Amino acid sequence: MLLTPELINRIVPLEIKARQIVEGFISGLHKSPYYGFSVEFAEHRPYNPGDDLRHLDWKVYGKSERYYVKQYEEETNLRCYMMMDVSSSMQFRYFADWSKLRYAVHLAAAISYMLHRQRDGCGLVPFDRELGEVVPAKSSYAHLMHLYRNLDGILDRYDGEAPEIRQTASAGAIHKLAERISRRSLVVLFTDLFENVQKQDELVSALKHLRHKKHEVILFHLLEKRSERELDFPDERFVFRDMETGGEMDVIPGQIRRDYQKKMAEYTKDFHITCSEANIAYEEVDTQDPFDLALLAFLNKRRRLM
């Protein structure tokens, strides 16, 4: 049997793929204009006056002539909850190799790996119309493996060929999570924002609820831009089906492309401005792009929280 890239992608554990994504990102970072950006995944921290000298790592001192203290499990700096939209529209792909959901799962896995290396706690919250099982934020290696099993489970359950229709109701799920987590945390939301446009105010209100509870928020808006933003399809007759309602529309893309692009640009611009005013980080992510810009945005957000 030939080990094709597709087969390797199917059999390689998510842990290994997450590590490859992060290590590739870090390698590229140091070759880019961002060189010098602090991405310290050390299992140590610099010595501060008053630290117990018994925890100094003399091997590290011998190599660097700098004092570092070993970090332990309880020295968690940050708690992060990753909210994963598992509604039907997240399964869409046309030009991209992966669906939005598969892309989001791998991005979440990479972020989890980064958090674990920095002794930060990470949890997972899938949702569609309802809040799914909440995996609490912890920082142990065993918990990281548990998190990866849950992420794999999301793909096994929701990224099939003939899925059941699951609509999005982000606002209700976010409100429920805001009431469940008491300690100040970072909430990372992975979603394509495909729900009733009239409910945008409800979604913004829910995000503000998180901010009111003193949580920091970063929203990754996942789109396959070539199809979903640009409507870059051949100018022939298409039947577009709403993946969350089953409704269909007979369309020739060239006849509506300009108006569609304008409305999409207005929608995302307005949402971006609203998020900015509420001090919510908004990042648009193209599922045909590498993970680098999304990971850089996450690291910048985390650094501002420390």
Give the single-character DSSP code of 289: S
Structure confidence at residue 285 (pLDDT): 95
Query: Which runs of E-coded beta strand occur in the chain?
Result: 44-46, 68-70, 79-85, 121-127, 135-138, 186-191, 216-223, 238-241, 248-251, 281-286
Q: Categorise residue 125: left if φ over 0, alpha if ψ from -120 to 50, beta otherwise.
A: beta
Residue type at position 41: F
Pick the CATH number of 79-305 from 3.30.2130.30, 3.40.50.1100, 3.10.20.30, 3.40.50.410: 3.40.50.410
Pairing of strands 186-191, 216-223: parallel
Helices 100-117, 14-29: axis angle to 10 degrees equals 70
Q: Is 297 helix (H, G, I), strand (E, B) or coil?
A: helix
Contact criterion met (CB below 8 Å) for 203 and 174: yes
Please give the Cα distance from 39 to 65 (Å, whole number): 20
Contacts of range 18-25, beta carbons closer than 8 Å, 24 or more positions apart: 18/106, 18/109, 18/110, 18/112, 18/113, 18/148, 19/113, 21/106, 21/109, 21/110, 21/113, 21/291, 21/295, 22/110, 22/113, 22/114, 22/295, 25/110, 25/290, 25/291, 25/292, 25/295, 25/296
Parts of the chain with a pLDDT under 50:
1, 3, 33-42, 72-76
In the chain, what are the domain boundaries?
43-71, 79-305
Helix or strand (DSSP H, E) at 145: helix 141-158
pTM: 0.81
89 CB neighbour count, 10 Å cutoff: 24
